[in-house]
Amino acid sequence: MVFPEVVSIGEVLVDFIPNEIANLKGLTSFQKCPGGAPANYIVGMSRLGVKTAFVGKVGDDPFGDYLRDVLQSEGVNVANLVKATNGERTTLAFVYYDNDMDRDFFFYRNNSADVNLTAEEIDSKLFQKTKYLHFGSLSLTEEPVKSATYRAIDICKENNGQICFDPNIRVDLWKNDEMLRAAIEQALEKVDIFLPSLSELQFLYNKKNFDEQDAIDYFFTKFPLKMIILKKGKEGCIIKERNGYFLTIPSFEVEIVDTTGAGDGFNVGFIFGLLNELSIEEAGIVGNAIGALVVQKKGAMTSLPFRNELEEFLQKENIPIKLKQKKA
């Protein structure tokens, strides 16, 4: 077995990206794209030359076969991508724009394959050399995938791997906000690197007077986190280690075509930077760079850059960062 350095667990699904800007009722055509935040992340890592694996479950249906083929074609180890045997279908998500023209998702996920991944279906041998395990909150919405996720986390920690968590909050998949916050707080007890967006940090902090630095300090006080990276879109990111200073890293100015997957792209770049033994500031710059590359194309997974594209972008922006990570 080729042991991966980076593993992600969770949902792999089909995103239907609109070909026009309108609310869901008014949309008339979509483009089919592979998606799911953990799957986007792992493909992004693979495109940069990292040894990767994906853990999850898809339906025994054409969409599941399509997604497995996509991950395999991207060089991702799919030995632990389980095919459902009880009629569960692959999850679908329709992307649309709300009344404020903000991007949102409409999910077809009732009794879907990804939420039926069991703890017993996790291959513990996969994690022997894993340096980073990545997951999001969609893996916490219900059983049995919640227990499967925690089993993967525990196995990774036993093998000295670090746990990365992007909350990727989708409020409509939860019965209420309190259940969502409670599930994320439970997960944060096991997380090393926390990667929320600004709106997600505001939601989780849940106080009337919001201050970014106060919120970050609060989460360090309450949970055993090693690092918090606050993703702020056009405003770049803020990085804080437990006993370190706040670092503010500006974004790159680029033409925006589609913001779907920009946060996933940042996650890829930041952890790739750490794999390359860059400083956390340099890792943040690489995260911003991949986010900038992603928003210039339509789709999430399909817009993730290859290593040469990243290197060319950094060179064009006069960023003197040397990447050491070798191709898988």
Q: Is residue 311 part of a domain?
A: yes
Distance of alpha carbon 265 from alpha carbon 156, whole angstroms = 23
State the sign of the Cα–Cα–Cα–Cα dihedral 287, 18, 175, 156.
Answer: negative
Chain mean pLDDT for the chain:
94
Q: Is residue 52 part of a domain?
A: yes
pLDDT of residue 98: 65
pLDDT of residue 99: 62
Average pLDDT value for residue range 100-109: 78
Provide the edge-to-edge strand list for the sheet that holds 30-35: 30-35, 13-18, 92-97, 103-108
Is pLDDT of 235 > 60? yes
| Confidence band, pLDDT 50/70/90 cuts, at residue 239 | very high
Of 22-26, 145-149, 214-218, 250-254, the poorest mean pLDDT is in 22-26
Top-confidence residue, 38 or 95: 38
Is pLDDT of 18 > 80? yes
Distance of alpha carbon 25 from alpha carbon 117, whole angstroms = 32
State the pTM of this model: 0.94
Is pLDDT of 92 > 70? yes
Average pLDDT value for residue range 98-124: 87
Q: What is the CATH number of the domain that holds 283?
A: 3.40.1190.20
Distance of alpha carbon 145 from alpha carbon 116, whole angstroms = 6
| Confidence band, pLDDT 50/70/90 cuts, at residue 95 | confident
Q: Is residue 15 part of a domain?
A: no
Q: What is the pLDDT of residues 164-204, one digit of tens each?
A: 999 999 999 999 999 999 999 999 999 999 999 999 999 99
Containing structural domain, residue 232:
37-88+112-316
Of 27-36, 127-136, 147-156, the poorest mean pLDDT is in 27-36
Q: Is residue 152 part of a domain?
A: yes
Q: Is residue 28 part of a domain?
A: no
Query: How many domains in the chain?
Result: 1
Top-confidence residue, 110 or 23: 110
Distance of alpha carbon 245 from alpha carbon 220, whole angstroms = 13
Measured CA distances, 199 to 18, 54, 274 (Å): 23, 27, 25
pLDDT of residue 22: 78
Q: What is the pLDDT of residues 258-284, one digit of tens each?
A: 888 899 999 999 999 999 999 999 999
Q: Is residue 25 part of a domain?
A: no
Could you please report the per-residue DSSP string of 154-213?
HHHHHTT-EEEEE----GGGSS-HHHHHHHHHHHHTT-SEE--BHHHHHHHH--SS--HH
Q: Which two tokens stand for residue 240?
A: 């804080």
Q: Is residue 8 part of a domain?
A: no
| Confidence band, pLDDT 50/70/90 cuts, at residue 21 | confident
Question: 274 CB contacts (<8 Å, ≥6 apart)?
Answer: 132, 280, 283
Q: Is residue 9 part of a domain?
A: no
pLDDT of residue 139: 97
Is pLDDT of 115 > 70? yes
Q: What is the pLDDT of residues 304-325, one digit of tens each?
A: 999 999 999 999 999 999 887 6
Distance of alpha carbon 325 from alpha carbon 277, whole angstroms = 9
pLDDT of residue 258: 81
